[in-house]
Structure 1
Amino acid sequence: MFKKITKFILNQMDPFKELNPVESIAHHEHYRPLCLLKKKRKSKRIFHPDPYYQQTGFTLDDVLLPGEDGKHIESIHPDSSQFTLSNVSADKVDGDLSISVDPATVGLQGAAFFYKGFSIKPQKKSVSLGSLEALSREREIDMDHSFIQQLQRTDIELYVVTEILEASEEAVYKESTKAGGGFKAKCYATVFAKGTRENTQSIVIPMGCTLAFRTIQIHIKDGAWNLGYFKLENHGKPTQQAGSSVELRVDVTEVEYSCRIFSELSPDLLPIILNTIKAVMRDKNLLQELSQKMEEVPEKNDGYELKTESPDLQGLFSTLQHSPRDRVLLLAEGITYVLDALHELMEDQLLLLLESLERKIVSQQLKLVENLLTPHLKYRMWPFHVDAELLSFPHVEEQRLTIALVELSGVQLQEDGSAVPRDQPFEAVAALFVALYALNLLSGSK
């Protein structure tokens, strides 16, 4: 829910995408000015165009040698301007839905009413680059610091937070669902309610909570450090016309390339990975553990050992432990890519995907979602149509399950193929496409 809020704020205030949203309210204090971050991966994702940053627990001041006056850095100043953003929306739906998902069976009859809304006042705080330049001439990096010593043995990039967007006062975000009949109160697959039920979810954003941040890279050599002002990531690459079908094909090619290892696996290894993926789809904590372990594999150049207390991960870890290094790196890359996409989906969608696997409709859902990834969805946000045949399933429950799955990514579908995008859903639909693509490969669907 917090990630939904921060992305909305940036969509309204940062059209050039110079800031990065904070995705977890539990860790917002690690994204304050002068905090040090490490970039988790160099490549971006079709479903997550922002860089991936990870907290280090240190600030720039922590790793610098003491200055002559012994004082800490005091160059933070608040921007004088504040902004007020409000978002209120309400929807009413009617219909008839019935989905069977272990351990719950869910039905929808009658009508339902959805409401969400909040008002927040963001404020900027920043550190001037000029003051950082002056600081780099006055104080060197403490090369004996344990964090710096370990960093030097890796190829991890280090960044410092130079600007943040924070909540200048407490704000409350609320989502409310009121339904009659046998309608789900929160999701299509996990709640069964008889009679009238109202479900309200809310989150309190405290004053001073970091909502978004900007960084600049730090280069360190022999105690000296400087700022990386220019990025050469696109140097020499041709620029595609915005919104072109060629660009969208490049996006799909990214998915094919990142998941290429799965099409090369032996029939005995495919079920091991598929069962592991299915297990983490049911348990967010397990998903987090697997993500962390897979991300650590490339960083351990002098050997690796995969340990876990979870029986659901043991089979995969045992297989990787006895595989050649180059094979393990490819598998870790592919699994990490899929886990990142799953992390972008709602828990309700993960359960619907598991049901789709049982019903063996993932292949058709994949074709439908790929059909949704058009320039209409990425740039123009206009209603459009998809091939209605892709919404034709052997059973009506499968059609409605699929419509529910897509709607949770922000696109309303009708049986005639008309599609209405809401809340800039391209990234959410792209994450769903990646999940379906991987599950289709791993399950051997045609």
Structure 2
Amino acid sequence: RSIGIAAGARPEAGRVAVYGIDFGTGALRSLEVMPHVGSVVSGDDVERVQRLLRTLRGMLDDRAKRFSEVNASTLTEYRQITGNVQEPRILLLLDGFGVFKQDWETTSARAPFYAIFMRMLGEGRPLGVHVVATADRYGAVPTAVSANVTKRIVLRMSDEGAYAILGVPKDVLSERSVPGRAIVDGLETQIAVIGGTTNVAEQNAAGAELARELRARGAVEARNIGSLPTELDAASLPDRIDDMPVLGIGDDTLGPKGFEPVGTFVVAGPPQSGKTTALRSIVAAMERFDPQTELFHIGGRRAALRDLRAWRRAATGIEDVRALAKELKDVVADESVPTRILIVVENVTEFGDTDAERPLKELFQAINRSDHLLIADGDVTQLSGGYGLIGELKAGRHGIALRPDSYDGESLFKVPFPKVQRHEFPAGRGLFVENGRFVTVQVPLAPE
């Protein structure tokens, strides 16, 4: 905390942007009051940890290119050559390196993000991107990391043998040393705290006062690291984005995410994952995008959307579904039809092995050859088949897997998903797949 505060205490000396990842007790969160502190992300907020590390990777890539173009080897040289004194020095505070390494180094989905951290250690210093990390014991820091550490602050250790391993005198610190007493560059040092008090409330008050003073002196606010909302109001979304209807908020830009309104679209997920909400929101999105869209509904007697609105046509029984599917197959194949058609099929697996299966299969084929849209939902465990009705539905390789598992990508869309855990996805959040690529999306809560 002292380093994070001190880094931006002199804004006139050059901009600094501080970010934090807290695997400890959450004490770093108090830094967010400072103007130069962008965000302090909790270690268990996987989504924001990934976004922060992706942001830092982008900074490394961008600076490496720009520094090379002007032949600058350090941030200081770049500022001098270009006159851009507003280029900030970046500082990442990582509280609890041991937990970070354990959770992120070996898991296949998270290992690339641990590699970003290692890259920051190796390449970051000349580019003005620095890391300050804490570890509760010397063994928590592997050689590959310690080899890139240029300065150590050694506080009181529980194991006296650790001092020799860390290369500092063992007779300086003891169990009687006061909190904050450390060895820095071989010298006994007392680490300062804001306000000069051990009372945390008084420290926070002093920090808030310093933050007000820094803003009055013109300190520039650091950019925050956002996150996807857990609940999203459909009214907050635009009617269209890039001339497409809006599915929800995308993780890649934290902005509206559109989808191509053609072909078959699969909404899959386990129970209570928000499948019905997703269907309802897609219908609402299509109506906002194109109010002239003709809407049709196919579903069993327990279909939740049957009474959602006045459909152009709706079918419930097997014979009615069979007849409507045959009729719609010819309609969507007719290129002279002037209006856009949206067909909603609820619980599509109910119609497998019935007289309606073949007409529905032919309807799915016709839809995938047309400019119209058909959306269908089902339990992810029942949509794993690759033949017949389900196979034709998934032929478009287009849709969203709500609360997904790592294997759902291959079984639903032939697109490999990263290693994910269902509990990390609230209701209405999933991996949206289109054109062979996926992105995490939060679907809005549509009005009942």
TM-score by length of 2: 0.24
Larger of the two Rg values belongs to structure: 2
Higher strand share: 1
